[in-house]
Structure 1
Amino acid sequence: MGPEESKLRMSLYLLISLSILLPNAITLVSMGRTRGIPQNIKIPTMNLIICDILSGLSILLRSILKFSSVEIPPNASCFIQSSWTLTTCFGSMLIVATIAIDRCICLYYENAYITKVTVRRVIMCQVATWVLSLVYSLVILVDHVPDYTDVRCFNPYIGPLGRGLQLTIGITFRILAFISYVFIYVRIKQMVKSDLKKGLKTKGTFKTTYKLVLIGVIFHVMYFPFLCYTIYLIIYPELSQKTETFLLISSFLVLLNSCVNPFVYAWRFPECRLEAKKIFFFFNKNKRKAEDEKRKRILVSFLDTSSYRNGGPNIVCNGNSS
């Protein structure tokens, strides 16, 4: 690969990193300002957004180092970049899977969930996610092929044992998430059918839960080509140099997922959507004031004094707050 082609690729990476960072940063701030989202959903969702931000920062740092005059040994640069990328990717996968499992348990065992799943336990689970992600990335990088290039230093050089671990954990969590999505869908259908028999209106009741399932499906579908690439290199490791185009396509889909996530999450909750609009229209005082009034009306209708416990909104497993 010539220097011009390398610079063109780094320019593309720079553009992608900014496309990831800007919407995710806005979403992180807007979600941080919300009051109506239950903490057991808000914390892991913000953690997922942080994973996307770190992924964008990794690409941005790589682009800056490429264009700068600072020289870093290729092996050190690749080790840092690879462990960074592996940690954030595994963290994202684990968070999406745990959110799906969390919602599934909440729908089937609501009373036990409300009493047992506390904010403290949710925070501990998220801390454990980061610890496991870091350990996972370091274990994979222990088994590597010591052959680095300046541009491609991540996927082609993970050894067969590392790829086996990557594949095993990836498939396991995706299967768990898929099973959870199936049970969520079945449970929602049962509850809708029950409400219809009682003559209750169900339109919009499960709207955010349906969106959550859609988010998870999109997440896993966009990771599927990368999963196929991993399987291919385990079977034919000697052909890594001939699969660069497929690697670029599959990696682009993974990165595109990080770009899509914030828009989906920002529009999932009305309050978060309004906070994002306030950030977009920071230069327009009248527009910000109008969006703030809409937010107050949402909070008045959604959060009364009976809906609070321990300083936050009550958990509702089958309503729009979930």
Structure 2
Amino acid sequence: MNTLPDVELCFPQLLNTSCRKPLQKHAENMFINVLLSCISLFTVALNLLVIISISIFRQLHTPTNLFLLSLAVSDFLVGLLLMPIRILLMGGCWVLGSFMCGVFHYSSFILTSASVGNMVLISADRYVAICDPLHYQTKVTNRRVKICVCLCWFCSVSYNGVILKDFLKHPDRYNSCVGECVLVTDFFTGVFDVILTFIGPITVIIVLYMRVFLVAVSQARAMRSHIASVTLRGSVPVTAKKSERKAATALGVFVLVFLICFCPYFYPSLAGHDLLSTETFSVFGIWLLYSNSCLNPIIYVLFYPWFRQAVKLIFTHLVLHSESCTVQLTL
């Protein structure tokens, strides 16, 4: 390969095999890197606050919050592992070697699948809570929730290990030069993956949420029709129903943000293209997917008073007191 003096290579010592660096405007590139670094930092910090809050405060050890904890862990790992490496790729060269290339793509697939699985579990939890509240305590227990969460992560690790087994054996098989990290899967594998990872779970999430929404609306109408006859004795179940409707609204926002962030990422597969990470997937689609991990804890701030109170206790160092785990938060 002939090289020109003004051409920058990823590895200048490998003149015949090194990839060329793309021509970039340094000022614009620096601004983008700073912006994406801030998103990564906020993602790690916000999800770490969620993890600490649910882990420390005993009142928050509920089945629903265990699902939220699992989602926060996957979002935290996206901000801690995937986002910084993706920022390095903005420079146009992969400098971490072929082994880390395989680990990076494998981790990316695992965390994406785990996030989708957690959203399905959260939707199912809200479905039982709204549509079958009398049996919720017996159907959804902490033990069953822990089993479901473990199965979600196990299936994500196993499933993606199967579809990426050939790539993991030879992570550099699709690289055209040194300094590249390319992942390619065939059309049928891509279709199979998008059905199991996106279309199937999204269908389940939407169906469950529509059912939750209809039941919540019917409950609201029933409450309004009997509001004049509500007594002090009946105020407790009214508050409980209001709390459940608020949780249903939060789920709706979760689902909407989830769809907005995930659809562009899966569009190439839906359109029938190969999964070529360096060509087909746009940088915008990947970072929009990653931004979902930063938006989820922001939704917690808007809809969950307990999260705002827990964060306040953490930043005022009151959480360091031995009795802090028994503090009563507003749910």
Q: Over the residues paired in the alignment, what is the CA RMSD in angstroms? A: 3.5
Matched residue, 1:33: 56
Q: How much does 1:193 deviate?
A: 1.2
Q: Does 1:73 align with 2:91?
A: no
Once residues 86 and 241 of structure 1 are traced to their aligned partners in structure 2, the CA distance between those partners, rounded to angstroms, is 15
Once residues 150 and 81 of structure 1 are traced to their aligned partners in structure 2, the CA distance between those partners, rounded to angstroms, is 17
Task: Verify the 8 A CA contact 1:34 1:271 in the aligned structure 2.
Answer: no
Q: How big is each residue's C-alpha offset from its partner over 1:105-162, in whole Å with a ceiling of 9 and x where there is no partner?
A: 22222233321322111101100011001012112213559313777636x5233233
Q: Does 1:213 align with 2:236?
A: no
What letter matches 1:56 in structure 2?
G
Shift in CA distance, 63/225, structure 1 to aligned 2, threshold 3 Å: closer
Once residues 160 and 266 of structure 1 are traced to their aligned partners in structure 2, the CA distance between those partners, rounded to angstroms, is 41
Matched residue, 1:313: none
Once residues 228 and 116 of structure 1 are traced to their aligned partners in structure 2, the CA distance between those partners, rounded to angstroms, is 37
Task: Verify the 8 A CA contact 2:117 2:201 in the aligned structure 1.
Answer: yes
5 Å-filtered alignment, 1:75-114, equals 76-114=99-137
Greater radius of gyration (CA): 2
Shift in CA distance, 11/120, structure 1 to aligned 2, threshold 3 Å: same
Q: Does 1:128 align with 2:151?
A: yes
Q: How much does 1:261 deviate?
A: 0.9
What letter matches 1:172 in structure 2?
G
Question: 5+ residue gaps in structure 2?
Answer: 1-19
Task: Verify the 8 A CA contact 1:167 1:227 in the aligned structure 2.
Answer: yes
Matched residue, 2:42: 19
Task: Verify the 8 A CA contact 1:143 1:159 in the aligned structure 2.
Answer: no
What letter matches 2:21 in structure 1?
G
Q: How big is each residue's C-alpha offset from its partner over 1:20-79, in whole Å with a ceiling of 9 and x where there is no partner?
A: 212111221122233333521111101100001111222366379889xx96432x1221
Q: Does 1:237 align with 2:274?
A: yes
Instruction: Select 2:164's aligned residue among 131, 141, 156.
Output: 141
**Is the helix fraction higher in 1 or 2?**
1
Shift in CA distance, 207/135, structure 1 to aligned 2, threshold 3 Å: same
Once residues 238 and 95 of structure 1 are traced to their aligned partners in structure 2, the CA distance between those partners, rounded to angstroms, is 24
Once residues 151 and 197 of structure 1 are traced to their aligned partners in structure 2, the CA distance between those partners, rounded to angstroms, is 67
Instruction: Select 1:186's aligned residue among 211, 214, 219.
Output: 214
Once residues 120 and 238 of structure 1 are traced to their aligned partners in structure 2, the CA distance between those partners, rounded to angstroms, is 38
Matched residue, 1:165: 192
Task: Verify the 8 A CA contact 1:18 1:60 in the aligned structure 2.
Answer: no
SS state at 2:146 partner: helix
Instruction: Select 2:312's aligned residue among 277, 288, 291.
Output: 277
Once residues 174 and 135 of structure 2 are traced to their aligned partners in structure 1, the CA distance between those partners, rounded to angstroms, is 52
Q: Does 1:254 align with 2:289?
A: yes
